[in-house]
Amino acid sequence: MTVTLSEINIYPIKSTRRIALQESEVLARGLPWDRRWMLVDRDNRFVTARKHPRLATVQTAMGGGKLRIEAEGMASLSIPMQAQANERIEVEVWRDTVAAVLVGRLADIWFSDLLDMPVRLVQMSDDIVRAVDQRFGQAGDEVSFADGFPLLLISQASLDDLNRRLSHPVSMRRFRPNIIVAGTEAYDEDNWTRIRIGEVEFAGVKACSRCIFTTIDPDSGEVSGDQEPLRTLGTYRRDSGGVYFGQNMIPRSGGRIRVGDKVEILA
- Residue 15: domain span: 4-265
CA 107 from centroid of its chain's CA atoms? 21
Q: How many domains does the chain have?
A: 1
Q: What is the pLDDT along the chain (267 residues), one digit of tens a residue?
A: 799 999 999 999 999 999 999 999 999 999 999 999 999 999 999 999 999 999 999 999 999 999 999 999 999 999 999 988 779 999 999 999 999 999 999 999 999 999 999 999 999 999 999 999 999 999 999 999 999 999 999 999 999 999 999 999 999 999 999 999 999 999 999 999 999 999 999 999 999 999 999 999 999 999 998 999 999 999 999 998 899 999 999 999 999 999 999 999 999
Contact 56, 218 (CB under 8 A): yes
Cα within 13 Å of Cα(90), Cβ side: 4
* Residues paired with residue 250 on neighbouring β-strands, in sequence order: 203
Q: What is the pLDDT of residues 201-232, one digit of tens each?
A: 999 999 999 999 999 999 999 999 899 999 99
| CA angle (67, 213, 83) in 5-degree steps | 25
* CATH number of residue 43's parent domain: 2.40.33.20
Q: What is the DSSP string of 51-77?
A: T-GGGGG-EEEEETTEEEEE-TTS--E
What is the model's pLDDT at position 161? 98
Q: Residue 241, exposed/middle/buried by CB under 10 A (0-12, 13-18, 19+)?
A: exposed
State residue 57 phi and psi, 5-degree precision.
-95, -5
What is the model's pLDDT at position 59? 98
What is the model's pLDDT at position 105? 95
Q: Residue 86, exposed/middle/buried by CB under 10 A (0-12, 13-18, 19+)?
A: exposed
| CA angle (71, 159, 39) in 5-degree steps | 30
